[in-house]
Amino acid sequence: MPPRTSPTYRQARLGAELRKLRLNAGVTAEFAAGLIGLDRGKIPNIESGVRTLSPERLRTLAAHYGCTDGTYVEALVAMAQPRTRGWWDQYRGKLSAGLLDIAELEWHAQRLHTVQTVHVPGLLQTEEYARAIFGAVLPELPRLEVELRVALRQERRCVLQRAQPVPYTGFVHETALLMQFGGRQAARDQLKYLAEQSTADHVVIRVLPIAEGIFPGAGHALLYAGGPVPQLDTAQLDSAHGPSFMDAENQLSKYRSHLEWMDSRALDPSASRDFIHRIHKEL
């Protein structure tokens, strides 16, 4: 199969995991190539996500790298399966690759956690609310791109609506509930929708009141996607330049600690729902 020109984050992550296994085993790229009958130069391409690797060859490498975690290996094998077209691919070439990587990350996640401090979670945003957020981007986005971003965000909800939805927990700061993106009525509609969605069995919304004071990670929004094994978890942060994906163990450990802090301090789901209803009535 010819090499890819632009691997997705998921494809690059698989390559990075294989490189980590090889380096931890003290195996050279030349030796690894010989194990699976490839030219030495193809190993760096595999480890950068540019070239594919068959499940059989992946298992061979993992065995010679001394990896005894069978669950982890099979999770890598699942990532190595031939990629089928995802619903998000209809936007390829129209929106940035980073936005599509988020959609793919959510689709394959075993569970999702988010922390939002300025606006409500993306997967639970109404169309009008999302349009107001994208309309505030600087430099100003063309109207078509705004509408494409809104459409992508609305379609991302499918992970919560499919036959086997992804378990989802959203930590939302009180400030986000008070922000009137799109105006007063749009904010009211958004809060009503958020409260309604929080009654689903697989959706948990936890509010962190302003009175709680300072909290870790106050300067950014966080998406934490749980993989089939902890080693394949991913933390994603938003910035003005696009999404950043983090998967080093020390990074994941830090963001797990953030989520644990939120879990210990945020209102419980029932109290959070009441809190949202109260703000909705006051708007």
Q: Where are the domains of the chain?
A: 9-80, 89-282
Instruction: Identify the pLDDT of residue 106.
Output: 98
Hey, which CATH number is domain 9-80, 3.40.309.10, 3.40.50.2300, 1.10.260.40, 3.30.70.100?
1.10.260.40
Instruction: Identify the pLDDT of residue 4.
Output: 61
CA 220 to chain CA mean position, Å: 14
pLDDT, tens only, 114-143:
999 999 999 999 999 999 999 999 999 999
Same topology, domains 9-80 and 89-282? Answer is: no
- Adjacency order of strands within the sheet including 244-246: 203-208, 168-173, 111-116, 222-226, 234-237, 244-246
Instruction: Identify the pLDDT of residue 220.
Output: 83
The secondary structure of 37-56 as a DSSP string is T--TTHHHHHHTTSS---HH
Instruction: Identify the pLDDT of residue 241.
Output: 77
Beta strands in 136-233 (DSSP E): 168-173, 203-208, 222-226
Q: Distance between CA atoms of 267 and 234, rounded to whole angstroms? A: 25
Indicate the class that CATH gives domain 89-282.
alpha beta
CA 235 to chain CA mean position, Å: 7
Q: Which amino acid is at 260?
A: E
> What parts of the chain have a pLDDT lower than 50?
none
Residue 155: which of 182, 127, 136 has the closest Cα?
127
Please list, in sequence order, all residues whose beta carbon lies within 8 angstroms of the beta carbon of residue 12, skipping any fewer than 6 positions away.
48, 49
